[in-house]
Amino acid sequence: MIPRISIVGRWLATGAAALSLLACSQGDARPKSASAKAPPQPYARDPFPSTYRAYPGVPTLVRNVTVYDGEGGRIDNGQVLFADGKIVAVGQSVNAPADAQVIDGTGKWVTPGVVDIHSHLGDYPTPSVQAHSDGNEATGPITADVWAEHSVWPQDPGFSRALANGGVTTLQILPGSANLMGGRSVVLKNVYARTMQAMKFPGAPYGLKMACGENPKRVYGSKSRQPSTRMGNIAVDRATWAKAQSYRRKWDRYDADGGDMPDRDIAMDTLRGVLAGEILIQNHCYRADEMAIVEDMAKEFGYKVTAFHHAVEAYKIADILKANGTCAAVWADWYGFKMESYDGIGENLAILERAGACAMIHSDDENGIQRLNQEVAKVLASGRRAGIDIAPQVAWKWLSLGPATALGIADRTGSLKPGKMADVVLWNGDPFSVYTRPEKVWIDGALLFDATDPKRRPVSDFELGQPGSGDVK
Amino acid sequence: MKRALLLLATMLASPVAAQTVAITGATVATGDGSAPIENGTVVFQNGRIVAAGPGIAVPAGAQVIDGRGKWVSPGFVAGFSDLGISDAAGVEESNDAGARNAPFNAAIDVAVAINPAEVKIANERLGGVTRALVAPEAAGSIFAGEGAVIDLGDDPDAVTRPRAFQFVELGESGGRLAGGSRPAAYAMLRDALAQAEDYRRNPAAFGGRERMSLVKRGDAQALLRVLDGSVPLVVHVERASDILTVLALPRDYPRLKLVLTGVSEGWMVAREIAAARVPVIAAALADLPAQFESLGATESNVGRMRAAGVQVALASTGNSGGEHNLRQYAGNLVAIARLPGHTGLAWGQALAAITSGPAAALGMDGEIGSLRAGRRADVVLWDGDPLELSSAPTAVWIDGRAQPMNSRQKALRDRYLVPTEGALPKAYER
Q: A249-301: per-residue pLDDT in tens? A: 999 999 999 999 999 999 999 999 999 999 999 999 999 999 999 999 999 99
Task: Return residues 150-189 of A near B (CB < 8 Å).
Answer: 157-158, 161, 165
Task: Find the residue in B nearest to A351 (Cα).
Answer: B417
B360-364 contact pairs (CB < 8 A, 24+): B360/B279, B360/B311, B360/B313, B361/B79, B361/B232, B361/B259, B361/B279, B361/B280, B361/B281, B361/B311, B361/B313, B362/B133, B362/B149, B362/B161, B362/B164, B362/B165, B362/B232, B362/B259, B363/B232, B363/B257, B364/B149, B364/B161, B364/B164
Question: What predicted TM-score, i.e. pTM, was given to this entire model?
Answer: 0.94
Residue A386 near chain B (CB below 8 Å): yes
- Confidence at residue A18, expressed as pLDDT on a 0 to 100 scale: 34
- Between B180-184, B316-320, B333-337, B410-414, the lowest mean confidence (pLDDT) is in B316-320
> B91 vs A462: CB contact, 8 Å cut-off?
no
pLDDT of residue B16: 54
**Terminal Cα distance for chain A, rounded:** 45
CB within 8 Å: B409 and A355: no
Contact at 8 Å (CB) between B398 and B89? Answer: no
Predicted confidence at residue B214, as pLDDT, reads: 83
* pLDDT, average across residues B44-66: 97
HSE, side-chain direction, 13 A CA sphere, residue B250: 19
Residue A193: closest CA among A411, A458, A455: A458
The span from the CA of A167 to the CA of B4, in Å, is: 54
pLDDT one-digit tens code per residue, A27-67: 444 545 556 789 999 899 999 999 999 999 999 999 999 99
Helix ranges (H only) for A328-400 are 348-354, 372-385, 392-395
Cβ distance A151 to A122 under 8 Å? yes
What is chain B's mean pLDDT, rounded?
94
Residue window 373-392, chain B: list those with CB within 8 Å of chain A. 387-392
| Contact criterion met (CB < 8 Å) for A378 and B341 | no
| Contact of A107 with A113, CB cutoff 8 Å | no
> In B, residues 326-345, which contact A (CB 8 Å cutoff)?
327-328, 331-332, 334-336, 338-342
Q: What is the mean pLDDT of residues B232-252?
A: 98
Give the pLDDT confidence score for residue B165 in this predicted structure.
Answer: 98
Cross-chain residue pair B287–A342, CB shorter than 8 Å:
no
Cβ within 8 Å, pair A335-B240: no
Q: How far is B297 from chain A (nearest CA, A)?
A: 7
Question: Quick check: helix, strand or coil at residue A162?
Answer: helix
Find residues 49-88 of chain B whose CB sits inside 8 Å of chain A: 87-88
Window 434-453 of A: residues touching B by CB (8 A cutoff) are: 434-437, 451-452
Which stretches within A260-287 are classed as H helix? Answer: 266-275
pLDDT at A34 (0 to 100): 52
- Shortest alpha-carbon distance between residue A274 and chain B (Å): 30
Per-residue model confidence as pLDDT tens digits over A294-323: 999 999 999 999 999 999 999 999 999 999
Q: Is the pLDDT of residue B6 over 50?
A: no
State whether B389 and A345 contact (CB < 8 Å): no
Which amino acid appears at position B67 of this protein?
G
ipTM: 0.95
| Band of pLDDT at residue B391, cut at 50, 70 and 90 | very high
Q: Which residues lie below 8 Å from residue B338, measured CB to CB, with a gap of 6+?
A: A428, A435, A437, B344
Instruction: State how far residue B248 is from chain A, nearest Cα, in angstroms.
Output: 22
Counted across chains A and B, CB pairs separated by less than 8 A come out at 166
pLDDT digits (tens, 9 = 90+) for B319-376: 799 999 999 999 999 999 999 999 999 999 999 999 999 999 999 999 999 999 999 9
CA distance linking residue B63 with residue A250, whole number of Å? 80
Nearest to B302 by CA among B342, B355, B361: B342
Beta carbons within 10 angstroms of residue B132's beta carbon: 30
Report CB contact under 8 Å: B389, A434: yes
Q: Which residues of B touch A388 (CB under 8 A)?
A: 417
User: Do residue A467 and residue B295 have CB atoms under 8 angstroms apart?
Assistant: yes
Instruction: Please indicate if any CB of chain B lies within 8 Å of the CB of A21.
Output: no
Chain B residues near residue A436 by CB distance under 8 angstroms: 335
Asked if residue B182 lies in contact with residue B242, where contact means CB atoms within 8 angstroms, the answer is: yes
Residues (pLDDT < 70) of chain A are: 1-35
Partner A contacted by B322 (CB < 8 A): yes
Contact assignment for B88 to A334 by CB distance below 8 Å: no
pLDDT at res. B8: 45
d(CA B185, CA B87): 31
- Tell me phi and psi for residue B73, to 5 degrees: -140, 165
Question: Between residues 337 and 366 of chain A, which touch chain B (CB distance below 8 Å)?
Answer: 337-339, 341-347, 351, 355, 366
B410: amino acid identity, one letter? K
Nearest to A374 among B342, B389, B419 (CB): B389
* Nearest C-alpha neighbor of B329 from the set A162, A368, A68, A63: A368
pLDDT at A11: 26
Residue B318's pLDDT is what? 65
Q: Which residues pair with A207 in a beta bridge?
A: A280
Give ∠ CA B50-B53-B54 in degrees, rounded to 5: 130
User: What's the mean pLDDT in B169-186?
Assistant: 97
| Predicted pLDDT of residue A29 | 46
CA distance B107 to chain A (A): 27
Q: Residues of chain B with pLDDT > 70: what percent?
A: 96
**How near does any CA of chain B get to the CA of A350, in Å?**
9
Exposure of A95 by Cβ count < 10 A (0-12 exposed, 13-18 middle, 19+ buried)? exposed
3-state secondary structure of A118: strand
Distance in Å, alpha carbon of B268 to nearest chain A alpha carbon: 9
